Amino acid sequence: MTSKIESLEEYISLISGTYSCGHHVFRGVSNAQHKLIPSVGRNPHYSDRDEIELFEQFKRRAHSTVVSQLKNDWDWLAVAQHHGLPTRLLDWTSSPLVALYFATKPRIVNYAIEPCSPNGGCVSVLHFCNYIDTKGHENPFQYPTVGVFQPPHIATRITGQAGLFTIQPSPNEELTFVKDKTLPDEIERIEFDQSAAAHIQGQLFKMGIREDMLFPDLDGYANGIRINEILGAHHYKQC
């Protein structure tokens, strides 16, 4: 099912009325044509052997800089994902407002905010009832089905974004859930056009849903200050 919205108010009304059972997670993308394919699978030359080699390289190099106690490869995969390594994980959040931020995320180009995508934005909504038991499945690369993984808060960005992940055995294919009597999981979409995306971007800024809140680290603070300076000057002129 696909729903259309034009404002933050319509989005909140839709979430409150339709997606409030406590079993929904959300993923926002700033281009509505973007498919639910994990970053590692977007490589046209993808192979699981190369994927695992990248992951092992990351673990070898990151040991001296990782502060948290990482207990298994699921934890390592979550940290790698949040630091930009291509993985078979897809980012989701338990917060619909965080997802909406990513669907309208401000990007700076030449000291100005880049226009939102002509294709509009989209928030995917996944309904599910069970998390992956990582203790019973120690190797994430051998997990046999699509599932939802809730990591411990081993990185500030996971905490700031209320983050969790889906994982899939074929990361070069689009994520799908087939709903049946035993699997009540499904993915729905909330879409909006370019004009609505720009409007919502400004509404979220005024509501305090901003870069430095979702990326509570030095890089996030620095980028957030730059974005806030530009967006703030624009919106203060309208007051």
Q: What is the pLDDT of residue 141?
A: 96
Q: Tell me the whole-structure pTM to 2 decimals.
A: 0.88
Which of residues 233 and 220 earns the better pLDDT score? 220
Q: What sign results for the dihedral spanned by CA atoms 115, 158, 80, 215?
A: positive
C-alpha to C-alpha distance for 147 and 144, rounded to whole angstroms: 9
pLDDT band, very low/low/confident/very high, at 160 (cuts 50, 70, 90): confident
Q: What are the strands, taking DSSP E only, across 83-231?
A: 89-93, 108-109, 112-113, 121-127, 147-149, 163-167, 186-192
Q: What is the pLDDT of residue 156?
A: 82
HSE-up of residue 11 (Cα within 13 Å, Cβ side): 30
Compute the average pLDDT of residues 52-81.
Answer: 89
Q: What is the pLDDT of residue 1?
A: 84
C-alpha to C-alpha distance for 3 and 112, rounded to whole angstroms: 31
Least confident of 10-24, 116-130, 183-197, 222-236: 222-236
Q: What is the pLDDT of residue 43?
A: 94
Cβ neighbours of residue 156 closer than 8 Å, sequence gap 6 or more? 216, 217
Residue 239 has pLDDT above 50, yes or no: no
Least confident of 38-47, 58-67, 85-94: 58-67
Query: Can you give the length of the chain in residues?
Result: 239
Structure tokens at 12: 């909140």
Tell me which long-range contacts 17-25 makes (C-beta under 8 A, separation of at least 24).
Answer: 19/96, 19/125, 19/127, 21/127, 23/127, 23/128, 23/129, 24/96, 24/125, 24/126, 24/127, 25/92, 25/93, 25/94, 25/125, 25/126, 25/128, 25/148, 25/164
Q: What is the pLDDT of residue 178?
A: 64
Range of the domain at 174: 2-237
User: What are the angstrom distances between the C-alpha of 227 and each of 26, 113, 127, 233?
Assistant: 24, 8, 33, 10
Q: How many domains does the chain have?
A: 1
